[in-house]
Structure 1
Amino acid sequence: MEEINVLASSLSALATAGALWVGIRVLRNDHRANAERLVEERRKYAGMVSAWGELVEVLDHSMPYPRQDLTYFVQNNSDSPVFEVAVYMPETYGEPRGNIAIGMVAPQSKANCLGGHGIGGEFLQPAPVPIFFSDVAGVRWVRDGRGTLYEWTEDIERRLSDESGVVGDAPRTTLPRRAPSPQLDS
C-alpha cells in the first residue's frame, strides 16, 4: 500500500513539473509573439513615412525663365509623429553631401525643404531619397534611396559611414534640360 502512495506522489510531482514546464513554454511563446507583434506594429507605422525629391519651378526675377530647384518632401501617413527627421542630400555638382534636418513631422502631414538651386536635369523626379527618423518609441529608422525601410543597427551605421554614404542608393538618371522660355518684349 505504501508503494502505491509513493508511486502516486511521484506521478503527481512529475505531472506538476510537466505542467510547470508547459506553462513556462506557453508564456515564452506568448511573450515572443507579443514582441514580434510590437515590432511589426512599429514597422507598419514607420512604413508610412516616405521621402522624395521633386524639381519645383521657382520664379527668379533676375532670370528670363523660371529656375528649377530640388525640393525634398517628407510624408508621414501614420497616426503618430516622427522625430529627428533628416533627409540625406546627395552630392551634386561637386558640392559635399550632408543631411538636412527637418525635425518633427506631425501625423498625417507633409513637410518640405529646399535641397538645391538650379539642379535642373540632374534629378529623376519624383525620386525617393534617403531619410532618417525616430518613431514614438525612440526606434531609429532609415529608408534608403530605393525606398527600402531598415531599423537602425550598427551594420547600417557602418554601411552609411563608407564612401557611398547610403545603404542602397538609387541609380541617377539624367533628364533632358528644358529649353529656356523666350523673353517677350512689352
Structure 2
Amino acid sequence: MGADRLPEVLDATYACLTRYGVRRTTMDDIAAETGVSRSALYLYVRNKDDAFRRLAERLHDQALARARRIAAGDAEAAERIHGVLAAKLDLVLQLAGDSPHTAELLDAKARLFGDICQSFTEDLRGLLVQLLSEADVQQPEDAADICIALVAGLEPRPDSRRLLTPATRALLAGFRYPEPAQPR
C-alpha cells in the first residue's frame, strides 16, 4: 500500500464507525474495509485509536478550513459570521446524520477526541472574535462565545439549518444595541 492510501484507510475507518462504533470496530474490520491485510494497515496507523484520532482530525480540519475560507472572504461581516457558524453546524449535522455512532467524534469529553474538539472550537472562536471585532461588536470575546452557544443549541433541532440564518441575524442585531440597565 502506497503512502497516499492513508485517506482510504480513514474512509474505511469512517465506514466501520458508522456500522459498529468506536468500541466495536477492530483493526481487522478496518483492514477488510480498506481491502488490505491487518499488517499492511499498521503502515498507516499505529492502532485503532490512532485511526479514529486521525479521522476526527481530518473531519475537524476540513470544517475549520471551510470556516477559514469563509472568514477570509469578501462578503459582509454578518455573512462571514454566519458562514463560520454554518461550518460548525454542518460538521455536527453530517456526523449526527450518518449514523448514531459517528457523533462519537464530536464528544469534547471523549478520551480520544476531546482535545481535537476543544481545539476546533477554540479556533472557530478565534475566527469569530476577529470577525465580530471587524463588525465593531463590543466585547467580541463574549459575543463569540454566545455565537458558539447558539449553534450548540441549534444542533439537536431537526430544522437547525433553516433556523441558523434568522438566529444569526437576530443575534447580530442584538449585539448592536447597548446593554440593558442592570436591575437594582
Q: Is the strand fraction higher in 1 or 2?
A: 1
Whether TM exceeds 0.5 here: the answer is no
Q: Is the helix fraction higher in 1 or 2?
A: 2
- Structure label with greater radius of gyration: 1
Q: TM-score, normalised by structure 1?
A: 0.26
